[in-house]
Every structure is written in structure tokens, then in C-alpha cells.
Amino acid sequence: MSSTARISALLCACLFTLTACGGGGTSDKADKKAAGYPVTVTSCGKEAKVLAPPKRAVSLDQGSTEILLSLGLADRMVGTGTWTDPVLKNLEKDNAKVERLADRYPSLERVLAKEPDFVSASFLFTVGKGGVADRAKFDELDVPVYVSPSDCAGKDNDGGGDGKRVKTLTMDTVYGEVRDLAKVFHVEKRGEKLVADLKARVTKATKGIDASDATLLYWFANSDAPYMAGCCGAPGIITRELGAKNVFDDTREEWPQINWETVADRDPDILVIGDLTRKSQSAESAAAKIKFLETNPATKNLSAVKKKRYVLLSGQAMNPTIRTVDGIEQVAAGLRKFGLVK
């Protein structure tokens, strides 16, 4: 049975409607191997085998979505989910062509209703317990699933929270994700161009910068038990590229929750603040974070607060994806603006 037929069969079982059962089956021609296929990419410890260039892809996290759109693949996408920020400006037109299945995690039934032939995600949690569905559910239907290697290569996700970096993350892993997805869709030249463009932007942003005397703190979300960046995820990439120091580089946890008294003790020169548009935790937007910082007794006397040394980043720029390059550019600009480069 083809993957499309399997999906339709499951929809019949799950939804019990004639409409859901109407699109089942594929032609013999569609089942024949395409030139250069099958393509197999390793995906967080599992192989994703793709038999033909995907025509009905669903991306379940914004980071993955923006890579696919940057590769010019909007016409081969049928759905997206799990957003924290507005889409990149240069991708707005293409993104408008692709249905948003949910702002957060779409249901498995909603995803399967699009009859996907490929699913991508940025985080293991998205295709695990508590997310959309476990990868095994998609495996049963022969729908290949690709998860960003940045969420598993050199990372321990078994200890709870957002995981712990066993090895320091670099942009090479992000570039590898771009190349993997370009290979899956047989647009390798586009992938290499995107990687080259990203590398050129990093080179330009970091040229001549020496911020070795500057200390940074990255606050993603939550004012009650704030998530601050540890040493070795995407904020670590930004910090190392600029030669600065993260005040919490003594932990390998991805996003440890740290109390404000400890933050006050470290007293960073710059606060890099996540400006999120989602509404799942306290103090998501930059405005809410700044209001908290300037009124809370434990934080209002921080050097960075008194001098209003804030750099605002999208949530995606603080995740390991192509937007990490945006983060490098914006933090570099902040360091220069505040006179903290040599």
C-alpha cells in the first residue's frame, strides 16, 4: 500500500467520515522511483528514506519551515505549525501560500488530513510524546520524518527540561540541516547558495569585532522562573562568534531556569532578550520583559538595566536555525552601539 493510501486509511479509522476517505490511493506512475531516489538522510538516530521528491511536505516547527521556504519550496508544502514569531520578511509572500495548521502543535489528524509525503521538525519533542505525534506513528504510514540534527547531535535530551549539550553546537550543524533538506527535495544547488549566503553574513557581521571584555545574558522567556541560555546552544554560537562571554557559560544545560538573585550576582553588561509573539508563558514579549526588569527589586539595579543595554532578538534567533545568523548580526550591532567592542 502506498503512503498516501495508508494515510487515507488511518484517516478513515480516526475521523469516520467519507470526506476523509476520499483521497486514498496513488497511481502506479507515482509509485515508480524518481531519478536519483531513494534518498536517505540520518535524522536524530533514525534514517528518513524518501522515495521521490516530496510534493506535500508539512513542517512542524518554524525553524524548519523557514529553511524550506528559503530553499524556494513553498509550492511543495501543504502545511506548517508551531510558531513563536512572525515569519522572516523576505519569506512573507511564499509563506502566505502555505496553510498554517496551528500556531502551536497541530493535531495528528490535522496533519494527516493534508496527506503528507514528508514531515520535518526542528525539535524531537515536536515528534515525540506531548508534541504532534511520535515518529513511530508516521513510520507506520511510511511517511518519512526528518528532525533537525541541532536538537540531538552532541545533545542529551533524556534528563528533562530542554536538554544538555554534551558537545558544543556550531553553525556547521545548521548548515548540515540545510544541505540535508536540499538533498531530500533534490535542490542541492539552492542549499549550497543558502549556506554560502549565511556564511558571508557571519563573516561580515564579525569582521574586526573584539568583544572579549563584554558579558552577555540571554533570556528566552518566563519571568517567574526565567529560562536563561547555557554555554553551548544557539546563543553560545552567537557569543563565540563575537568573542564575548555568556555569564552562564558554566552550565551545559540548553535553557536552565535561573533565579533573579543569581542573575544579579553575575550582573551582565548586555541583556539579550527574546521578543516572542506566542502567549504560552509569562513575559513573552520584549516589552513585557523590559517592564519586569525595570520594576522588579532583584533586577532594576542591574548595570544593563540602568544603562538600558538591551538587544532584542526573535525567539527563532535564539534557536539553532538559519536565524541564528540574525542573532549574530543583531548582537554585534548592539555591542558596537553600546561601545563594548575594542
> What percentage of the chain carries pLDDT values higher than 90?
84
Which ranges in the chain belong to alpha helices (H)? 3-15, 28-31, 62-70, 92-95, 108-112, 135-140, 171-184, 188-206, 234-242, 260-266, 286-295, 303-306, 324-337
Q: Is residue 81 part of a domain?
A: yes
Are 182 and 60 in a shared domain? yes
What is the average pLDDT value for the chain, to the nearest integer? Answer: 90
Q: Is residue 14 part of a domain?
A: no
Are 171 and 217 in a shared domain? no
Q: What is the pLDDT of residue 35?
A: 82
Q: What is the pLDDT of residue 278?
A: 81
Are 177 and 261 in a shared domain? no
- Using one digit for the tens of pLDDT, what is the confidence trace for 250-293? 999 999 999 999 999 999 999 999 999 888 788 889 999 999 99
Reported confidence tier of residue 18, pLDDT bands at 50, 70, 90: very low
Are 66 and 173 in a shared domain? yes
Q: Is residue 231 part of a domain?
A: yes
C-alpha R_g of the chain: 21
- Using one digit for the tens of pLDDT, what is the confidence trace for 94-112? 999 999 999 999 999 999 9
DSSP state of 76: G
Q: How far apart are CA 84 and CA 318, in angstroms?
A: 11
Q: How far apart are CA 92 and CA 75, in angstroms?
A: 14
Q: What is the pLDDT of residue 32?
A: 54
Choose one of 199, 230, 249: the last residue of a domain: 199
Check pLDDT > 90 for residue 2: no
For 252, the domain range is 209-337
Check pLDDT > 60 for residue 10: no
CATH number, domain of 245, equals 3.40.50.1980
Are 164 and 230 in a shared domain? no
Choose one of 165, 181, 199: the last residue of a domain: 199
Check pLDDT > 50 for residue 20: no
- Using one digit for the tens of pLDDT, what is the confidence trace for 34-86? 788 999 999 899 999 999 999 999 999 999 999 999 999 999 999 999 998 99
Check pLDDT > 90 for residue 202: yes
| CB contact burial 190-220 (16+ within 10 A = b; e otherwise) | bbeebbeebeeebeebbeebebeebbbbbbb
Q: How far apart are CA 278 and CA 284, in angstroms?
A: 7
Q: How far apart are CA 156 and CA 124, in angstroms?
A: 11
Are 42 and 153 in a shared domain? yes
Q: What is the pLDDT of residue 159?
A: 80
Report residue 203 as a C-alpha cell.
Answer: 563573516
Domain tally for the chain? 2
Check pLDDT > 90 for residue 5: no
Check pLDDT > 60 for residue 240: yes
Are 172 and 218 in a shared domain? no
